[in-house]
Amino acid sequence: MASQEYHRGEMDIHAQKATWDGFMVGSVWGSLIIIMTLGYAALAIAIGLHWVVALGLMAILGFGAGIFMNLGGRWMATVVVMIVLALIVQGFIWLFNVFL
């Protein structure tokens, strides 16, 4: 038998709440990153927009989503890092096209 009687609402749930909040933040961030990546690919490859235009549109979407959802400075830094990474990848694509 239990040594204590159960009393509804008296259990400390701070750890569970922190885990749930972290899961939700991770889900939102992951979903937005996937949406931005697939959106860039769809605009640049499937639709045929110039890669700079597609990157600009996805950057606007990322910054706008960050402001709308109040994701903070870490999200803005993530979007900037994604833009820099996309520019590096496009630089490698350009470099390989030069040598072909």
CA gap 11, 73 in Å, rounded: 34
The answer as to whether 69 is a domain residue is: yes
CA gap 85, 95 in Å, rounded: 15
The answer as to whether 24 is a domain residue is: no
The answer as to whether 76 is a domain residue is: yes
- Is residue 78 within 8 Å of residue 69, measured between CB atoms? no
How many domains does the chain divide into? 1
Q: For every one of its 100 residues, what pLDDT tens digit does the chain have, with 9 covering 90 and above?
A: 556 777 777 778 889 999 999 999 999 999 999 999 999 999 999 999 999 999 999 999 999 999 999 999 999 999 999 999 999 999 999 999 998 8
Question: What residue numbers bound the domain in which 70 lies?
Answer: 31-99
User: Which of 100, 60, 96 is CA-nearest to residue 79?
Assistant: 60
The pLDDT score that the predictor gives to residue 2 is 58
Helical packing angle, 14-41 and 73-99, nearest 10°? 30
The answer as to whether 16 is a domain residue is: no
Burial classification of residue 1, based on how many CB atoms lie within 10 Å of its CB (0-12 exposed, 13-18 middle, 19 or more buried): exposed
The answer as to whether 65 is a domain residue is: yes
The answer as to whether 70 is a domain residue is: yes
The pLDDT score that the predictor gives to residue 1 is 52
The pLDDT score that the predictor gives to residue 95 is 94
The pLDDT score that the predictor gives to residue 7 is 77
The pLDDT score that the predictor gives to residue 34 is 97
